[in-house]
Amino acid sequence: MTTAEKGDYLSFGDRNNGLSTIKTWHEHNQMVLKGDIIRTTDKNTAITKNSIIKVNHTSCEDYSDSTDQLKHRARHINYWKAELERAIRDMDAEINILEAQRQQLKNAMDTLRIPEYINEECLDLRRMRMQSDLIYDEPQEDLFTESALIENVKKLHRDLLRDVEYQLDMNVASKNWLERDWSDKQLAFKYESENAYLETKAVNVKDSAGATRLSEALRRVISHCEDHPEDTVMHTIAVCRAWAEHRHVFRNVINDGSLSRPDLVQAMVWSEGDWDAVSSFCEAVILAEEEAERVRERSSPRPSRRRRHSRRRGSRQSNVPSWEQFTINALNEFKISIDKSKALRAKVDAVLINTSRDLRSQDIKVNNSLSERIARTEQVKTELENQLKLTLEKIVETENILEMLHEEMLKVSQRIQVAQTRLNTKNCRPNVENCREGSLVALIEEVRDLNDSMSLLQKRSLETEKLRAELIHERSILENEIIVKKKTLHLDNERCLFLRSHYQSAEKMCGF
């Protein structure tokens, strides 16, 4: 075999094609054994371990902090829930008391119908008095006063009942407000308590997409810089040049002017003004985006299929001051309602006591005036009866006198007849015997005197007859007056006083 000269590596022809040199081989080995990936791996491992430690420390701190915040929040909710429970108990007790007083007031209104009936019946009965006794006397005036008093009490009771029913509605509305707030806080306390004691190994731990959104308005802020590599919501809020003017106003409203996510969230939670500023900014962005979309739809031959986002004005989260103020407002409304309710109950009690006292006082006054009137009527009736008795005696006496007059007149008449017979006999004497002598004169004088006596007796008889007629008329008048007085006594004593004996007591007129 012929020995190849130095440098002659091509004597084998194509068999050496594709082979590298030893130098390349050494360089390749050095490259492989260089260890860059090992160092990079070691560096990455160290960084990763540090990151894990940092993340673990941060997550543990965040978990502990959020757990403490949740527990604090649960205690805060439980405090207001307890206040609401106390208020609900107080309001429920107040509603029950006011309802009982409403029933008491209705009982008083029903009881008032009995005095009203008694008063009307007494007035109707006293209208049945006869003739001279049908007068406007003290009992009549007191009965009219009592009637006016009853009407005033009825009107006062109706007004009070309307006020009590209105206050009951207000109390029920306040209680419903408290119960709704308590129900919400009960659920919130349940959720916050579950969150406070939720651990990583709990069975109900799962991914919840969208749970980290700040609010509905922030979620709906649409990008305005489509060519920006980090076109996000926070970019629109904090960086986008299209909203520089709005952002300037927005930044002035925020307390510290920072628009970073943590500061923004903190400001929104603790300040209602900051919350409104963020909401206004987001609504302005949404309106501008919707207007731009409408312009694109009008200019495009095909309608855009992009779904429009409608604004929701009513649904937004509350912050801590507004959340707390809502419950404070409910409790303040409760205090106002319960104070008004207590004042109304005191007013109702006072009205019931005063009206029942006034009615009973008027009842006593009417009874006293009726008793006095009955006593005076009894006295007059007794006097009339005595007068009637005397009149009857005088009638008997007059009739006896008339009988004596008639007897005396009969005697005088007989004496006149005797005297006239004697004179007539004397006139029968003949001639000179017919003499005017003393016996004739005496007979003439006797006849004249008897005629005068008869005239006197007749005159006295006429006057006595007239007096007897007057006495009989007087007797009829007295008898009629006695009947009238007896009728009055029957109405006042046996009817009116008997009815008024059923007058209700003050306790019943108070509704008890």
Residue 38 falls within a domain, yes or no? Answer: no
User: Which residues, 6+ apart, have CB-to-CB distance to 465 below 8 Å?
Assistant: 402
Output phi, psi for 137, to 5 deg. -105, -175
Residue 67 falls within a domain, yes or no? Answer: no
Give the H or E element holding residue 374: helix 320-426
Residue 255 falls within a domain, yes or no? Answer: yes
CA distance 262 to 277: 16
Residue 286 falls within a domain, yes or no? Answer: yes
Q: Taking the C-alpha atoms of 44, 49, 52 and 55 in order, what is their torsion angle to the nearest 10 degrees?
A: -90
pLDDT digits (tens, 9 = 90+) for 154-187: 999 999 999 999 999 999 999 999 999 999 999 9
pLDDT digits (tens, 9 = 90+) for 31-68: 777 767 777 888 888 888 898 898 888 888 888 888 89
- On whether the CB atoms of residues 352 and 510 are closer than 8 A, the answer is yes
pLDDT in the model for residue 488: 95
CA distance 342 to 98: 8
- On whether the CB atoms of residues 315 and 216 are closer than 8 A, the answer is yes
How many residues can be counted in the chain? 512
**Ramachandran bin of 481, using left for φ above 0, alpha for ψ from -120 to 50, beta for the remaining angles:** alpha
Residue 221 falls within a domain, yes or no? Answer: yes
Numbers of helices and strands, H then E, in the chain: 12, 0
Residue 242 falls within a domain, yes or no? Answer: yes
Residue 131 falls within a domain, yes or no? Answer: no
0.85 exceeded by pTM: no
* Low pLDDT (below 50) residues in the chain: 1-11, 214-223, 231, 302-315
User: In which domain, by residue range, is 245 found?
Assistant: 216-316
pLDDT digits (tens, 9 = 90+) for 317-364: 678 888 999 999 999 999 999 999 999 999 999 999 999 999 999 999
Number of domains in the chain: 1
Residue 235 falls within a domain, yes or no? Answer: yes
CB neighbourhood size of 215 (10 A): 16
